[in-house]
Amino acid sequence: MTKRLKKTLKESVNPQQLEAVNSIKGPVAVFAGAGSGKTRVITYRIAHLIDKGIPLGNILAVTFTNKAANEMKERIGSLLDLDTKELWIGTFHSICLRILRRSGKEIGIRQDFAVFDNEDSLSLIKDCMKESNIDIKRVNPRSVSKAISDSKVALVSSDEYSKIAGNGYFIDIVSNVYSLYEKRMRENNALDFDDLIYKTVLLFQQKHEILDKYQELFKHILVDEYQDVNAVQYELLRLMASKHKNIFVVGDDDQSIYAFRGADPSYMLRFQKEYKGSKVIKLEENYRCSKMILSAANCIVQNNENREQKKLWTKNEDGAKVKLVVCSNEKDEAQKVVQLIQDQVKNKSRSLNDFVVLYRINAASRNFEEALVSETIPYQLVGGFKFYQRKEVKDFISYLRVVINPDERVSINRIINYPKRNIGAVFVKKIEQVAYEEKCSFYKACNVLLEKKETVARGRKGLKEFIDIIETARNTLENGTLFDVAKLIYEKSNIVQSLENEFPEYLAKEKIANLGELLTAINRFEGGYDRKEPILQAYLSDVTLYTDLDQMNKKEEKVTLMTIHSVKGLEFPIVFMAGMEEGLFPHYLSNSKKDALEEERRLCYVGFTRAKTELYLSYAMNRELYGKTNKTTSSRFLDEISEDLIETLRISLVGDGKSGLRKQISSVNRSKKDFSKGIKVEIEDLTKGKIVCHKVWGHGLVMELNEIDGEYIVKIDFDTVGERMLNYKYAPLRILEDSEDSEKEIDTD
């Protein structure tokens, strides 16, 4: 090891991390708890391998995000002062795409195949259902799409599906659509996201000489987030690592949260059985969270039974207790969270980038968006509408896709009559008829139809315009730059004029600006391009694999809103976890299944451990969801947190939210404990200024007592929810015998 790297390692890693870095022979599993430096370990291990003389091209590192892959490359390049271009570092999808571009022809996959995103795939599935006379109003195309996706993850082909899945109305539909879908995908010269990994596994299974080639190429395999691999990913890794067995996996079974994608944490747990003689290393020192936050997270996850025993610890400061915010409804919750953010920015000089608001389901974002907008606070919604999914952007990208792959019918359908060219459904049917008669592609049939004299004049004119744009762009691509092609489409397609005619001025400007940003992105991509594959092919591949996390912008000050599933791998100084209610978190669908409930608990643990210094938990006593308002109860996860780690924060909304924040930490924070110690409240106890304890809302100050129609109605100002009017006959109230507690004063200013 060179002196420079040795010195850097000594200064940068702890003993357990160093052991992981130095264990470069044979299978190794690293159980890396949240914030324990797993990315650092992988980065330094790769640097160590290179330093030991392993060629860059013989190292494969698989990550779960493009962001992580790019950061890893940059850090390795900086450590060793070298160009990391030859390193194979990327996501499963990007690695497999490269393999299929190089070797897919061995199983009949053309090198110039298109990659369908989820929207393209769903569109084709709908077409297949209509072609099969299946009513898409009765059978949800998304359900069919998921069934096909799940089959590919489980390595089940369209031919095998009906034999394995059994019988039934829905199964028969999926079986028929799956077969037709695969046929249409071949005709489109396209693969979907699942195909990228699935077809690579098929390539290795069917062509042993190809597998042997990549086994020799990837002598050292490193895998990040191994707890989240699914069946097809596991098989891919197993095949590639089976020869040299130099496989190094890093993960944390406590953070396995993608069961809906087929992720199976048991692969991590049984690594030692799968790979005989493997070494297991545990990283349990957390460098991210305060002691309070980490202890609360440990309280949650230790209730799971199916896990590798470990307990994270940290040298960080104790920090503040976890704050609990009880709210009357979902709007109250959003407003209180926003006021807390405003208070931190005003009084503690926090940046908006320091805050993230997490929620269990996407539908919960709306109230937070409205509250932030009302206070003119900028925010970014991760998991919302991606830039490359905006219609005007996707339309433009479709032109580029047809330029490189004219057989790709989904994109042709999207743009052949956009902007309007008088190519209606009847004319499209004529093209399809020609394609059938001539046994050629749809695009070639367009050219054949142009040569026919009887072709309707209006349709001919529009079709000629479309073909001219595509052919001119194809010629430009051969002789010019990618930006030249994009600029030509921008000018010749009339998309800009169409947007100006179709939308109000303010909206048209926004959409045209998006196209301008797209041209800028293309120009920037071309400026830094240094790969061997054709540039347009490479650009479209990158665009298709673009993820929510890639669009996060840390340069502009914005509050971040995202689901807890999306926040994996990120960290923020201050985290708000909203909707901590039974039925929402844990989700009601997990209540009857132990494995599902354990995954919900892991999801909660992931949310907690994103916080560096402060963690706020909130729940609403009433929540409107899907058009219906229900009374709620607090999440069982709140009860699993040790009482000395959490405190209830009383918040009163003030004015317009900009004039300040009245808040108070209750002196006794866990109402259940106090309630069980207290004695039943008698009418004579309910005097003004008396402290009482409610079973759910905790401590409150008696404001007044009135008799109305023979019923005693008491007005109490609670620490957690403010003033409430309660019927004495039914209210779960107790009074503490401890005079010290009873005499505590609550500020009601």
Q: What is the per-residue pLDDT for 674?
A: 65
Instruction: For residues 136-160, give the mean pLDDT.
Output: 94
pTM of the model: 0.79
Task: Tell me which of 120, 194, 224, 719 is the catalytic residue.
Answer: 224
Whether 437 is a known active-site residue: answer no
Contact 483, 528 (CB under 8 A): no
* Res. 147 pLDDT band, cuts 50 70 90: very high
Note the pLDDT tens digit of each residue in 537-578.
989 988 888 765 665 666 679 999 999 999 988 999 999 999
Which one of the listed residues 610, 636, 670, 734 is annotated catalytic?
A: 610
In the residue annotation, 272 being an active-site residue is answered as no
* 405-419 average pLDDT score: 92
* pLDDT of res. 385: 58
Instruction: Determine which one of 120, 194, 225, 264 is catalytic.
Output: 225
d(CA 177, CA 12): 54
Q: Which of 39, 472, 481, 551 is catalytic?
A: 39
**What does the DSSP assignment read for 220-266?**
EEEESSGGG--HHHHHHHHHHHTTT--EEEEE-GGG---GGGT--TH
* pLDDT above 50 for 669: no
Give the tens place of pLDDT for each residue, 458-493.
778 889 999 999 999 999 999 899 999 999 999 999
Q: What is the pLDDT of residue 744?
A: 35
Contact 286, 316 (CB under 8 A): yes
314 catalytic per annotation: no
| Stronger pLDDT, 610 or 454, i.e. the higher one | 610
Distance CA 405, CA 403 (A): 6
Residues 590-618, mean pLDDT to the nearest whole number: 94
Determine the pLDDT at residue 196: 97
pLDDT at 350: 94
- List pLDDT tens digits, range 333-353: 999 999 999 999 999 999 999
Reported as a single tens digit per residue, the pLDDT across 1-45 is 676 677 777 778 899 999 999 999 999 999 999 999 998 999 999
Mean pLDDT, residues 738-749 taken together? 36
Lowest mean pLDDT among 76-85, 550-559, 688-697: 550-559
Q: For all residues of the chain together, what is the average pLDDT?
A: 87
Quick: pLDDT tens for 195-227. 999 999 999 999 999 999 999 999 999 999 999
Q: Does 615 or 533 have the greater pLDDT score?
A: 615
Residues contacting residue 433 through CB under 8 Å, at least 6 positions apart? none
- Catalytic residue, from 38, 101, 401, 409: name it: 38
pLDDT for residue 384 is more than 70: no
Q: Which residues contact 321 (CB under 8 A, 6 or more apart)?
A: 292, 645, 646, 647
Tell me what the mean pLDDT of segment 125-139 comes to: 94
To the query of whether residue 647 is one of the catalytic residues in this protein, the response is no
Looking at residue 546, its pLDDT comes to 73
Q: Which of 233, 255, 476, 544 is catalytic?
A: 255
Can you give the pLDDT at residue 627? 66
Tokens 């007044």 label which residue? 704
More confident residue, 674 or 324: 324
- Specify whether 610 is catalytic: yes
Q: Is 255 a catalytic residue?
A: yes
289-302, pLDDT tens digit by residue? 999 999 999 999 99
Helices and strands of the chain, counted as H and E runs? 30, 24
